[in-house]
Amino acid sequence: MKNTLLAFGVISVLAACAHHDDVRPSSDNQHYVIIKASERGEGIQEALNQATHFCKKDAQSMYVINESVTYQGEQDEQTFLNDKSTAQIISNAGTWLWVLGDGYVDDAGAIASLAGASAEHSLGKPYLINVSFRCST
């Protein structure tokens, strides 16, 4: 049973990594990727990974033409970052209390952990990453 679960997990992870769903191909070889992300750096990395994967399927290299990151949140960016940080702290502290606590402490930790994760998720994905690229040999 453990081997089956492990094999399923490995296949799921590998399948999730190998994709380029957000690439918009073009006939003039100037393709682009648009990603919405909750973190600036992770969004850029995801867009670049998808562009690279798109080019590698034809044994070509990816060359970035232009990249831009636009914040489109409902609140200002600094408030978003502060709220995200607070939610992560609450979630992490709650997880530790959940794991290490005893009695009512672990129950409170579970609630805090879930509340922090829920708050972080509710902040959404306010970053719009746009990467234009070409593929060539």
**pLDDT by position in tens, the chain (length 137):** 555 555 555 555 555 555 778 899 989 999 999 999 999 999 999 999 999 999 999 899 999 999 999 999 889 999 989 988 888 888 888 888 777 777 777 777 788 788 888 877 778 899 999 999 999 98
Write out the two tokens for 22: 């957000």
Q: How many domains does the chain have?
A: 1
| 8 domain residue, yes or no | no
| 10 domain residue, yes or no | no
| 27 domain residue, yes or no | yes
CA distance 59 to 55: 7
CA distance 94 to 21: 35
Say what the pTM is: 0.70
Write out the two tokens for 21: 């769903």
